[in-house]
Structure 1
């Protein structure tokens, strides 16, 4: 079986290059593309929507959700999926980056279930998902945020509030490896 090709959509986040590296380290063909890339020009078995500074700068993300491939949203990527599909995103109580202990609430989830019962993460909570869209369920929470991760396995749409690509996050590479399995 050939390895999947997973494209990282760059939402102008400071860690986007680390997401590409994490995927290369997982053994897959990957490329980082700007978020204004026409969806028809994307050849991928899966997409990672990177973090970034602002919902105003998510480019063509809404169109990418219609490509019928698995999608993993990280931080802003998670928030974009939520807002575009009818969820609610609001300012969080804690801005800036910090260590956050996350509790996995669905140990059967294909993206984060293997991290149960919990893991230490590096995350910003300046903005966060307050209500998940229809079809999604919360797969992780913390004492800082009620939606640390969400999934809709029927549509292969997933997201995490934290940054699995940074060294401060324990078992972050495992999240990417789980996503690679989803894309297979």
Structure 2
């Protein structure tokens, strides 16, 4: 079975994403965000766009959305998906890292098994302000209207929070759900 690729966007948690997947016995590898799209398409069954400092340093990641492979965007990865598909981001009113209670609005395949409300660890320095056409908003919080969005047809999934950190409620379930999506 092909691995999942974690795309390194120079964020502080990218290696923790990879370690979490490996600890869960999910075959995974890390690649640079400058890896040519044809190499990505032939080498994996799903992509996780990790976090990072800015969209300007996101390399070729926007091109990976057109490979017909499931993509999960975490934090900056969510912003990459949103802007590449015609949405918009803005500076978050709350900024910084911290705990937030997320409300799950819809039980899609990525959030399957989660309660209606849960505590997560998130960065809100930037956030999605306009959801792209064809995407569903599936989670929100009191400080961020778009904590998660999905495009079931394109198999593109984005979340504002960090499931790889221990402060997030049952973050491993999100990775299990994404692994299942990638195996279908």
Q: TM-score, normalised by structure 2?
A: 0.95
Q: How far apart in 2 are the matches of 1:56 and 1:114?
A: 35
Mapped pair 1:71 → 2:71: yes
How far does residue 116 in structure 1 lie from its aligned partner after superposition? Answer: 2.5
Bigger proportion of residues as strand: 1
User: 1:97-117: CA deviations, max 9, x gaps?
Assistant: 01000000002x000132131
Q: Which residue of 2 aligns with 1:95?
A: 95
Q: Which residue of 1 aligns with 2:6?
A: 8
Which segments of 5 or more consecutive residues in structure 2 lack a partner in the other structure? none
Farther off after superposition, 70-79 or 57-66: 57-66
Q: How far apart in 2 are the matches of 1:126 and 1:113?
A: 27
Q: Give 1:1-184 correspondences, 5 Å limit.
A: 2=1, 4-42=2-40, 43-107=43-107, 109-184=108-183
How far does residue 77 in structure 1 lie from its aligned partner after superposition? Answer: 0.1
After TM superposition, which residue ranges in structure 1, 4 or more long, deviate above 2 angstroms?
Answer: none
What is the alpha-carbon root mean square deviation over aligned residues?
Answer: 1.0
How far does residue 33 in structure 1 lie from its aligned partner after superposition? Answer: 0.5
* Count of matched residue pairs: 181
How far does residue 25 in structure 1 lie from its aligned partner after superposition? Answer: 2.5
Which segments of 5 or more consecutive residues in structure 1 lack a partner in the other structure? none
How far does residue 58 in structure 1 lie from its aligned partner after superposition? Answer: 0.5
Q: How far apart in 1 are the matches of 2:79 and 2:181?
A: 20
